[in-house]
Amino acid sequence: MVGGGIAGYCAALAARRDRADVTVVARAPGATALYAGGMEIVDDLESVLRSSHHPLARLGMDAVGLAAELDAAISALQLALGKEGLKFEGAWRSRGLYADIHGIARPASVVPESVAPGELGALSGKRVAVIGVPEVGDYDAASTAQALKELHGVEAFAEDISIPDLPQGASLTDLYGRRAPSPRARGAAIAYPPGFTNLPADGFELLASPPSPHGWRLQQAISLGLVHAEITSFETARGRVTAARSAARTFRADALVLATGRHIGGGLRAARVTTEPLLGLGVFQDGLPAASAGTRMHHLQYLDPAEEMRLGVMTDKRLHPLNEDGAVPFTNVYAAGAMLGGYDYAGPCGFGVPILTGWLAGRFAARQE
Ligand SMILES: Cc1cc2nc3c(=O)[nH]c(=O)nc-3n(C[C@H](O)[C@H](O)[C@H](O)COP(=O)(O)OP(=O)(O)OC[C@H]3O[C@@H](n4cnc5c(N)ncnc54)[C@H](O)[C@@H]3O)c2cc1C
C-alpha cells in the first residue's frame, strides 16, 4: 500500500483480513491528519448511484451491495481503531450535527467518543458550559457560546479557566495532551476546545479547524507499523507493477494499492493541468481527461473553486485506475481514497469514499481480482 491516510489504512485492514502480507509505505501525514473530527460517510446512496462518475457508482454495485460493504468496512474500522485506543461512535446510516470551535454546525456520521455527547440535537435547550482558556489567543469561548445559543438553541455560557503555565497568546495546539480542567459550573454539559485528555463524564470536545487534534490522534492511531519512505518510482513488467522504489529500499509486491490522496497527500499535482505524478495515470473531470478541458477548467475553477476538487483518477469496477485513454495500464494496481475524482472531496462522502474504496481495494488486491 502506498499511502498512510485513512484509505491506505482501510486497504491494509481488508487485505490482512484476507491473509495478505501487507506493507504500508507513507512519506508523511496527509489530509486525514487535518479532518475536523467528524467522519462524513455518505448522505444518500441513491443519489450517489445516479451520479455516473462518482467513485462509488463506478463500482457497479447496487445500493444494497454498497450498504453491506459499508457496514463491513465501518465496523472493521471502528474495531481496529478501538484496539488502538481511539473509540468512535455512530453509524454510516445516521447523521448528527456537531459544533466546531466557532459554534458552526457540521454534519457527521461517525465521531470520536469524546465528540459524540456534543451532538447538537441532543443539547438543544440544555445548559452547556463552554470552556475558555484566557491565555489562548486563537479561540474565544464567549463567541462560541453565543453562536451555540443563537444558531442552535443551546443554553450555552462561557467559563474561562486559566492555565497559568501557558504564555499569553498561546495557541489551541498548546492544549494538546493536557488534562481537562474542571469548571465551577454544575449541572451543565461541558464543551471543551479539542485536544484535552481525561474529560469529565459530562464533557465533550468541539470539532477542530486545522491543525486538528482529532486528526492528529487519528493519524497517530493509523500510523503504527507503517514504513516511512517516499515512493519515487516503480518496476513494471508485462502490464504489472512488480516493485515500488524509494531512495533507500525496493518494496517487491504481487499487488499495489495506491492511496496517495489529493493535493495535500501528494497523490495529485496541481499545475496548469493536474497530473498523477507516480504512474502517470489519467486525471479526469466529469469523465473527460483533464488535459482535454483546456481553458474550460480554468473558467470553471474561477466560477467555483470546488471544481478543482472534483478532478481525479478514475477506476473500473475493480478499482483498477485508468490511463487517459480509458484503458487499464496495470492489472495488479488498485486506486483508493481522495485521489479518486468525480465527487465533492470536502462534501458528504469526505471519509466515505476513502474508507469504502480503501476497504475494497485492499480486498481486490489481496485476491488479485
Ligand atoms: C482541512 C481538511 C478537513 C477535512 N475535514 C473533514 C471532515 O471533518 N470530515 C470528513 O469526512 N472529511 C474531511 N476531509 C476530507 C478527508 O480528510 C479526506 O478525504 C481523507 O482524509 C483522505 O484520505 P486519503 O487516505 O485518501 O488521503 P491522505 O490522508 O491525504 O493520505 C495520503 C497519503 O499518501 C502518502 N503519499 C502520497 N504520495 C506518496 C509517495 N510518493 N510515497 C509515499 N507516500 C505517499 C501521503 O504521505 C499520505 O500519507 C477534510 C479534508 C481537509 C483537507
For residue 186, the model assigns a pLDDT of 84
For residue 308, the model assigns a pLDDT of 67
| Residue nearest ligand 1's atom 21 by CA | 32
Alpha-carbon span 167 to 36, nearest angstrom: 26
Of the pLDDT bands very low, low, confident and very high (cuts 50, 70, 90), residue 307 is: low
Q: At what angle do helices 6-17 and 63-83 cross, to 10 degrees?
A: 100
Quickly tell me which residue has 499545475 as its cell: 271
Q: What average pLDDT score do residues 252-266 get?
A: 97
Q: How many CB atoms lie within 10 A of CB 21?
A: 9
Residue 3 C-alpha to ligand 1 middle, in angstroms? Answer: 9
Residue 297 C-alpha to ligand 1 middle, in angstroms? Answer: 23
Residues 89 and 113 sit within 8 Å (Cβ to Cβ): yes
Residues 1 and 362 sit within 8 Å (Cβ to Cβ): yes
Per residue in 25-52, pLDDT (tens digit) is 999 999 999 999 999 999 999 999 999 8
Q: Tell which atom from ligand 1 comes closest to the C-alpha of 262.
A: 30
Q: Please say if the pLDDT value at position 294 is more than 80.
A: no
325: which 3 cell numbers? 485513454
Q: Please say if the pLDDT value at position 317 is more than 80.
A: yes
Quickly tell me which residue has 515512493 as its cell: 231
Of the pLDDT bands very low, low, confident and very high (cuts 50, 70, 90), residue 90 is: very high
Per residue in 202-228, pLDDT (tens digit) is 999 999 999 999 999 999 999 989 999
The share of the chain scoring above pLDDT 70, in percent, equals: 95
By C-alpha distance, which of 108, 11, 87 is closest to 350?
108
Prediction pTM value: 0.96
The share of the chain scoring above pLDDT 90, in percent, equals: 87
Q: Please say if the pLDDT value at position 299 is more than 80.
A: no
Q: Tell which atom from ligand 1 comes closest to the C-alpha of 37.
A: 8
For residue 305, the model assigns a pLDDT of 65
Q: How many CB atoms lie within 10 A of CB 75?
A: 12
| Residue nearest ligand 1's atom 20 by CA | 32
323: which 3 cell numbers? 490511463
Question: What is the phi/psi pair of residue 24, to 5°?
Answer: -105, 125
Q: Please say if the pLDDT value at position 298 is more than 90.
A: no
For residue 270, the model assigns a pLDDT of 87
Pocket test for ligand 1, best of 42, 219, 260, 275 (most atoms within 8 A of CB): 260
Q: Tell which atom from ligand 1 comes closest to the C-alpha of 229.
A: 43
By C-alpha distance, which of 207, 210, 253 is closest to 100?
207
Per residue in 233-245, pLDDT (tens digit) is 999 999 999 999 9
- Tell me which residues have their CB closer than 6 angstroms to ligand 1: 2-8, 25-32, 34-36, 38-40, 210, 230-231, 259-261, 264-267, 278, 337-338, 345-346, 350-351, 354
CB-based burial of residue 186 (10 Å sphere; 0-12 exposed, 13-18 middle, 19+ buried)?
Answer: exposed
Per residue in 173-197, pLDDT (tens digit) is 999 999 999 998 888 899 999 999 9
Per residue in 108-159, pLDDT (tens digit) is 999 999 999 999 999 998 999 999 999 999 999 999 999 999 999 999 999 9
- Average pLDDT for the chain: 94
Q: How many CB atoms lie within 10 A of CB 230?
A: 14
Task: Kindly compute the dihedral angle of the four CA atoms of residues 150, 152, 155, 159, in this order, to the nearest 10 degrees.
Answer: -80
